[in-house]
Amino acid sequence: MAMLPDPRTPDLRRRRFRQIPIRMLVPNVITLLAICAGLTAIRLSIEGRNELALAAIVFAAILDGIDGRVARMIKGQSRFGAELDSLADFVNFGVAPALILYFWQLHDLKNVGWIAAMIFAISGGLRLARFNATMDDPNKPPFAANYFTGVPAPLGALCVLLPMYLVFIGAPQLPAPITAVFTLSIAFLMVSRLPVFSGKMIGGKIAPDMVLPVVVLVVLFIAVLISYPWQLLTGGSLLYLLSLPIGWMSYRAHERRAREAAAASEPGHASPTASDFNVPVDPVEADRPPRLN
């Protein structure tokens, strides 16, 4: 009887590696580029080149928004890619912004500033861990797919850098204690249970007659981002923070409608019974099984 080859032999391992589709590597390469951008942002911040450091964070956020869509487009999703994406988000939107703020101003508060930076980084990691743990929760209501729980890590990273944007557009620099309080506030929003618009309500498909307008808007956005980056990031961060109460009210409205629909669909609310009109029930009928009444 012929012996089967050991699957641990080098030849079979190389054969299995060759069978990995190239399309599964493309999203992972984009994610690795995002990690490189986040690590480079930390280095640039240490060297005092804060504008380039913030540009690297914005570039990492753009890559983070691209890799998942590219994976779905070319059907290159994988468990490895999902874990790598979470690692990249923790580095780029948890550790990097915290260190940038610390090297920029929070170091003036010494240990207090370092604690604020650490809390933000840890909050980013907790936010990502909770997202991964509840992503496949079967108990979620259908409308909950349009909302995140807490501010997403990329948007939290872009918003927490708002004090730096203000300085770059010519506004006076905020005192270090206010920057620390703002950093802790964004960290709290990331780990909170606040319902936040996810952006999925926009939809993933574009009507044919809207393709050209969408392309023009994207080009316009990129042009404004390149020409007026700090003004755009400042306005975008403020608008996003102001929209958080709207997302909370929208979620509560959906939740209330879902409760009302569930209450209306209960058997006891389907039609009035004799007891609702205080009509006496015949004892003989009362003794019968419910299925016969």
Q: pTM of the entire structure?
A: 0.79
pLDDT at res. 292: 37
Higher-pLDDT residue of 62 and 293 is 62
When mean pLDDT is compared over 98-102, 224-228, 243-247, 261-265, the highest value belongs to 98-102
Question: 36-56 pLDDT, tens per residue?
Answer: 999 999 999 999 999 999 999
Residue 187 clears pLDDT 60, i.e. is over it: yes
* Structural domains in the chain plus CATH codes: 22-133+145-199+219-262 (1.20.120.1760)
Tokens of 186: 């964004």
**DSSP tag of 193:** -
Question: 193-248 pLDDT, tens per residue?
Answer: 898 888 655 555 667 777 788 888 888 988 988 899 999 999 999 999 999 999 88
Q: Identify the band that residue 260 occupies on the pLDDT scale cut at 50, 70 and 90.
A: confident
Average pLDDT rounded to a whole number, residues 56-82: 85
Tokens of 270: 């389907």
Q: Which of 142-156, 194-208, 260-274 has the lowest mean pLDDT?
A: 260-274
Nearest to residue 183, comparing CAs of 202, 159, 212, 165? 159
Counted residue by residue, the chain has a size of 293
CA distance 203 to 121: 31
Average pLDDT over the chain reads 82
